Amino acid sequence: MKRKVLLIPLIIFLAIAAALLWQLARNA
């Protein structure tokens, strides 16, 4: 159960990081 609780913020963080990288790649 604790692993799932840690997994949710990790997925959110990865999604934000991917979006930021996508924006940087598009602007470059």
Q: pLDDT tens-digit profile of 6-27?
A: 899 999 999 999 999 999 999 9
Residue with tokens 């959110």: 12
Give the whole-angstrom CA distance, residue 4 versus residue 24: 30
Q: What is the pTM of this model?
A: 0.65
Give the whole-angstrom CA distance, residue 13 versus residue 19: 10
Q: What is the pLDDT of residue 17?
A: 98
